[in-house]
Structure 1
Amino acid sequence: MRRDLKTGAIVLLVLIVLTSCKKFLDVVPDNVATIDNAFTMRTQAMKFLFTCYSFMPKNGRLDDDPAMVGGDELWEIPERAAFLDMAKGFQSKVGPLGDRFQPMYQGIRDCNIFLENIGKVPDMQETEKKRWIAEVKFLKAYYHFILVRMYGPIPVIKKNLPISADVNEVKVSRDPVDTCFNYIAQLLNEAAPDLPLTILSPTTEAGRITRPIALSLRAKALVTSASPLFNGNADQGNLKNHDGTPLFNTTFSKVKWDTAAVACKRAIDVCEEAGIKLYIYNPAFQQFQLSDTINTQLSIRNAVTERWNSEIIWANTQANTDGLQRLISSWWDPRYLDGVITRGELSPPLKIAEMFYSENGVPINEDKTWNYSGRYTLRTAGDDDKLYIRKGYTTVGLHFDREPRFYADLGFDGSIYYGQGRFDDKKDNELFYLEGKFKQRNGKGKYGYNTVTGYNLKKLINFQNTINSNNDYSVVDYPYPIMRLADLYLLYAEALNESSGPSAEVNKYIDLVRKRAGLGTVESSWTNFSTNPVKFLNQDGMRDIIQQERLIELAFESQRLWDLRRWKKSSQVLNDQIRGWDMSQTTPESYYRITVLYNQTFGAKDYFWPISEGNMTTNTNLVQNLGW
């Protein structure tokens, strides 16, 4: 057995866990032959480079992205989404939902193989070789980051084990979480100088790593490292290796926030040097002159759905959105209801609808001019509301006088839905609106699909998707954004506030995001409309403002689940009801009654994924996360 291992298996062994020695040995000969040939010429090495990319998770896919329906941001028809079981508290150490332990280490293994062998390729320019090395260092850092964000401290795999390694050396231990983050930051720092500032040939290189991507991920990793889940988390004080090595430093370090702020500003500077800027909808041609209301909504929506727009720092070309858009798009047109064209699934709960600001740019429970206590009272839309709600339609006060992102992101009973073939917002009859009551075109009771809360997801749907008389739904596909500039701006504001408190610089980067969303500045909004007009002047108040700004601006973009965790707010926010409207009713009086869909629970153990029992059995040097 020992001789067999030394003759082939360990040369590739960076996986921490193997289902069995025999299974791994069975695949070694083919892999060795492939590796021997993979670096004999440039074309073969490029295939291996793309293999390193192939382990990237498919962001935005319900079967591969736990941040879609694994928290509380979107709810689903129960039998449709596996990650909904995680949101319901059914995570398990026997086959954990969304387990990435083995796939990410497979990716790290291949990255190490690439880095160890790329120097052998004879027919490559040195500059190109350096670029490829930088890309793979980035991917190696990214895969480590995915693991740390999910599992906390992990074994850091800097290089593959040599052929002479003892079998016991395979059973590595977890490294302290600070070691993990430091290594991720180091790899990204090494990679950045040799990466291009921009992609010069989008048709052949779209999705490949650039310097702005590398430095933006480094900024996000360092902000994550500085956040309460990883910085002075006393709840994790008992997580130690078998030899007693503590895996969390339970003492808070302000230096981490200082370092994160510097990293964010460095990333912003490089992004701006590359021409990356907040997206504003300004088409070269449009058939109708649109109102400012619709233009603002399209700026918000298209910042996500327009392919490679000016704001996208990094988008996943392996995670296109055709299927996602069909899944979440509601039935658009009463003339074409005979075929199941779209499903209208993924339903924002009532708590998400209440999260968005008032039209004055402050939380609805803080706005002294907004009728918070009457938010569930029925109200009929008038002429001033017709670009948001169908004129004459009766709905609840919650849906009136809200910020543009509320109307850009969410659809609801009676709401105007711009696009999908309706483009003239000057004509009332050209503005499509949703009808969400029982057996109405966008309601419950026909095909078994559609919203389960009374809210539809609008944000991730390209407004140019169309439905035609042939019962065909034409989708404008786009790669799923992993990071855009608004995300980076808000990370910088957060890090700077935690590092040195509120300042004009903090306000500047929040206000840039708010301006694009059609809102006033933080200072003017809170001073003039909030019941707490000095909230933005102290660090705790500004922290709340920044966190809510992130949750709103990045809603439905696979960010909320991770933000709530790193802020250690999941145990507060996810111990709550998932609520919606009564979807089985036909009148406003009955429909707008709050219905509880589920009572969520979230415990301290749920902040980190369990390591599967299979991995724990195979590698006895691993320690399990607390509570599992």
Structure 2
Amino acid sequence: MKTMKRYLIILYVILLSGCDYLDVVPDDVATIDHAFYMRASAERYLFTCYSWMPNHASLSTNPGFLGGDEMWAVPTSGMSSVRLARGLQNQNSSLLNYWDGTEGRAMFQGLRDCNIFLENVRNVPDLEESMKNVWEAEVKFLKAYYHFWLMRMYGPIPLIKENLPIDATIDQVQVHREPVDMIVDYIVELMDEAIEVLPEEVDMQAMAGRINKPIAMAVKAQVLVTAASPLFNGNPDYIGFKNARGENLFNAEHDLGKWKRAMDASKEAIDLCSSLGYQLYRYLPGIGQTGLSESTLIQMSIRNSVTERWNSEVIWGNSNSLIDQPALTPRTWDPSRNHNAVAGAFAPTLKIAEMFYSKNGVPINEDKDYDYANRYDIQVASNEDRLNIREGYTTAKLHFDREDRFYASLGFDGGVWYGQGNFDESNNFYIQNRMGGAAGLQILWAYSVTGYWPKKLINPQNVIQTNSYTQRWYSWPVIRLADLYLMYAEAYNEYQGPGEEVFYYLDQVRERAGLKGVQESWTEHSNNPGKFSTQQGLRQIIHHERLIELALEGKRYWDLRRWKRAHTEQSMPIEGWDVFEQSPEGFYRKRVIFNQTFRQRDYLWPLNEGTLLRNKNLVQNPGW
């Protein structure tokens, strides 16, 4: 144990209680010497470093899905992410605690393992130099990403640049929270070092999920866009927020240069991805799917950009993150099939249904031809609507004349659902979501509380049958190309204002969605036709485009925070239809499900009181 003691991390003991530091050594090897004795054991330790990666597709531990206002759970759900959305975060036993690891992966332990790897990988005798360099670069990326994950939640954090020796002084052990700008610079420094070495491509059969250069460059862009955003860039709410050394933890002045860094990093990532053949995904019909309508092709392009494994758009697909599709799926499409193979319990909210554009590619409250005032009235679907709404079915006017991303993303009462074992456009499945309907409320722990379903997250190749549900798993797309395009458009507009570069990348995303370009759509259909010509107006358009294109993918939660819009958006009532009613007139009455409140303090998560007691140099986040 002598060697292990040399590397004992006192910091981990201070920050994380109740865990045995030996538990993370792979294969029960009790010494670092043995862990790096040969290539095989060193590779297992590399996988240990990967094992701390957050599960991006987890409904319970990734707050992006259920921690905000995008999807709402049945009342019986006790998930921590759901409790977070209900305003139950606290400093005594904080929810989804990635700092201490009590309800999330212990990021500081992950950083400890990354440092051990970086300190020892050069000692592996049978590992060629080139592979040492690549593994080292992978772990530098992981180290940077774990710092970033913590920063998005907690803001200023300690920087874990290296592990502390056993003879560390009390001052060394009692670490401080560092200024946000210093944290970002360190993350980017690690990313740059990794980018220089990482391969441009990896073998998807043998190394699926391993970090490559496009992933690192895209995440670097994400880090810099986050750092340039209002929450972290000159936020006046945190003037006077200092660490125990008296250092300001936030820069009080907005720095336009941060948007320049973000713009450049985004464009560099786009250029690399383009050179390697990444492109916005387009659906190619399979055998027996001939003569599909343009609308169905567009909708399948949107759905499969998420659910088709390793498609042309996915930059970073986390092969260890698999979303719980049965928990998101309506119980059945067919009243004759009464089974328990699926138990959907999480529903997009009414505000998300209203967020999508009209068929003219502008917000429904801006479309001068859309009957916005009467959107909650009911209407019978005609033959012209049959590809999106069951012909002859009575549903809300809100569901008519919407863009294809609305129909690709949401399931709703009367809405057509292409796929799931039925690829016949002339006889599509459809949702019956009113009380007594096949997908309506049957059991209190598995139904849609709002009347909507997250269709976008369900693989169209899944097959629902009388007594079974066969699902095709897919690797969760942590970052896809459309996300990167929209990051670049946002950074460009923030740095330079409206320009052709912005419109080009916005319009690439919109064209795939079957929409005309921003300038043409707003000029022809908006009651604010010049909106795109100002930086502020174009900012609103870009934000709206991100929220639509990346809807239900766990992005909205983080975007609303970095834009400092969460205190407005998440202080509105969570609403849906009256799912306890059977008639259209009763069902289509707007119902308040929960009065959500977001306080200023909620932008940064609290540190546990126990953590503060163990380390007197740590300071609590404002408001807690």
Please indicate, yes or no, whether the TM-score normalized by the shorter chain is above 0.5.
yes
Question: What percentage of residue pairs aligned between the two structures are identical?
Answer: 49
> In the aligned structure 2, how far is the partner of 1:105 from the partner of 1:419?
43
Residues 25 and 35, structure 2, Cα contact 8 Å, conserved in 1: no
Judge conservation of contact 2:45–2:117 (CA < 8 Å) in 1: yes
Residue 316 of structure 2 aligns to a residue in which SS? Answer: strand
Amino acid across the alignment from 1:111: C
Q: 1:89 aligns with which of 67, 87, 99?
A: 87
Q: Does 1:176 align with 2:179?
A: yes
Letter in 2 for 1:256: K
Compare 412-421 and 23-32 and name the one that shifted more: 23-32
Aligned pair in 2 of structure 1 residues 325, 494: CA closer, same or farther (>3 Å)?
A: same
Partner of 1:408: 408
* Structure-2 change in CA distance of 1:28 and 1:392 (3 Å): closer
| TM-score scaled by length of structure 1 | 0.95
1:255 aligns with 2:253: no
Partner secondary structure for residue 56 of structure 1 = coil
| Runs of 5+ consecutive residues of structure 2 not aligned to the other structure | 101-105
CA distance in 2 between partners of 1:438 and 1:314 (Å): 40
Looking at structure 1, the residues matched to 289 and 618 of structure 2 have their Cα atoms a distance apart, in angstroms, of 62
User: Aligned residue for 1:134?
Assistant: 137
What's the CA shift for 1:171?
1.1
Distance 2:367 2:230 in 1: 29
The alpha-carbon distance between structure 1 residues 627 and 47, as it changes in their structure 2 partners (threshold 3 A), is same
Partner of 2:191: 188
User: After superposition, what is the alpha-carbon deviation per residue over 1:528-569, rounded to whole angstroms, capped at 9, x for unaligned?
Assistant: 000010100100000000000000000111100000000000
1:237: which partner in 2?
Answer: 239
Q: Find the counterpart in structure 2 of residue 604 from structure 1.
A: 600
Cα distance 1:147–1:302, how it changes in 2: closer, same or farther (>3 A)?
Answer: same
The 2-side partners of 1:500 and 1:351 are apart by 31
Partner-residue secondary structure (3-state), 2:72: coil
Question: Secondary structure of 1:365's partner?
Answer: coil
Q: 1:73 aligns with which of 62, 70, 75?
A: 70
Task: Map 1:547-558; keep pairs closer than 5 Å.
Answer: 547-558=543-554
Q: Is the 8 A contact 1:13 1:109 kept in 2?
A: no
Residues 502, 536 of structure 1: 8 Å contact kept: yes
Structure 1 residues 338-347 or 375-384, which shifts more?
338-347
The change in CA–CA distance for 1:153 and 1:259 in structure 2 (over 3 A counts) is same
Q: Provide Cα deviations, 1:407-440, integer angstroms capped at 9, x if missing partner.
A: 0000111000111122111x2xx21110011121
Q: Is the 8 A contact 2:35 2:42 kept in 1?
A: yes
Greater CA drift, 159-168 or 34-43: 159-168
* 2:243–2:249 Cα contact (<8 Å) kept: yes
SS at the partner of 1:101?
Answer: coil
Judge which range, 92-101 or 564-573, deviates more.
92-101
The residue correspondences of 1:92-491 to structure 2 (distance < 5 A) are 92-102=90-100, 103-199=106-202, 201-283=203-285, 285-321=287-323, 324-334=324-334, 337-425=337-425, 427=426, 430-446=427-443, 448-469=445-466, 471-491=467-487
Distance 1:27 1:583 in 2: 48
Displacement after TM superposition at 1:283 (Å): 3.8
Counterpart in the other structure of 1:62: 59
- 1:591 paired with 2:593, answer no
* Per-residue deviation, 1:17: 3.0
DSSP-derived class of the 1:373 partner = helix
- SS of 1:498's partner is helix
Q: 1:157 to 1:26 in 2, by over 3 A?
A: closer
Q: How does 1:473-552 map to 2 (within 5 A)?
A: 473-552=469-548
2:337 and 2:465 in contact (8 A); partners too: no
- Output one character per residue of 1:296-323: Cα deviation in whole Å (capped at 9) or x when no partner: 10000000000000000001111123xx
Whole-Å separation in 2 of the counterparts to 1:422 and 1:439 = 23
The offset of 1:61, in angstroms, is: 1.2
Are the equivalent residues in 2 in contact too, given 1:331–1:337 (CA < 8 A)? no
TM-score by length of 2: 0.96
1:78 touches 1:84 (CA, 8 Å); kept in 2? no
Distance in structure 2 (CA, Å) of the matches to 1:410 and 1:17: 46
Aligned mates of 2:234, 2:112 — CA distance in 1: 31
User: What SS does structure 2 have at the residue aligned with 1:157?
Assistant: coil
Paired AA for residue 509 in structure 2: V
Q: By how many angstroms is 1:345 displaced? A: 1.9
> SS in structure 2 opposite 1:580?
strand
Amino acid at match of 1:37: H
Unaligned runs of 5+ in 1: none
Instruction: Give the letter for the 2:189 counterpart.
Output: Q
Equivalent pairs counted in the alignment come to 617
Distance 1:32 1:156, change over 3 A: farther
SS in 1 for 2:456: coil
Instruction: Tell me by how many angstroms 1:78 deviates.
Output: 2.3
State the Cα distance separating 1:289 from its structure 2 match: 2.3
Say which is worse superposed, 496-505 or 122-131, in terms of deviation. 122-131
1:178-208 CA-partner distances (Å, limit 9, x unpaired): 0000111111011002111111x21110100
RMSD: 1.9
CA apart distance, 1:448? 4.2
Q: How big is each residue's C-alpha offset from its partner over 1:342-391, in whole Å with a ceiling of 9 and x where there is no partner?
A: 11221111111000000000000000011111101111111110101111
- Aligned partner of 2:103 in structure 1 is none
Find the aligned partners of 1:512 and 1:230 in 2 and give their Cα distance.
29
Q: 2:34 aligns with which of 37, 51, 55?
A: 37
Matched letter for residue 186 of structure 1: E
C-alpha offsets along residues 600-620 of structure 1, whole Å, 9 cap, x if unaligned?
111110001101111111111
The match for 2:43 is 46
- For residues 577-596 of structure 1, the C-alpha deviation after alignment (integer angstroms, 9 at most, x for no partner) is 00011111111111101110
The 3-state SS of whatever aligns with 2:319 is strand
Distance 2:418 2:73 in 1: 24
| 3-state SS of 1:249 partner | coil
Q: Is the 8 A contact 1:18 1:24 kept in 2?
A: no
Q: 1:449 to 1:7 in 2, by over 3 A?
A: closer
Single out whichever of 460-469 and 178-187 deviates more from structure 2.
460-469
How far is 1:82 from its partner?
A: 2.4
1:261-300 deviation per Cα after TM superposition (whole angstroms, max 9, x unaligned)? 0000011111112211110001463443211111110000
- AA aligned to 1:536 is F
Return the letter of the residue paired with 1:622: L
2:333–2:430 contact (8 Å) kept in structure 1? no
Select 1:615's aligned residue among 611, 617, 620. Answer: 611
1:61-82, Cα deviation, whole Å (9 max, x unpaired): 1221111100000000122232
Letter in 2 for 1:184: I
CA deviation map 1:92-141 (0-9, x unaligned): 01121111013001011000000000000111221111110100000000
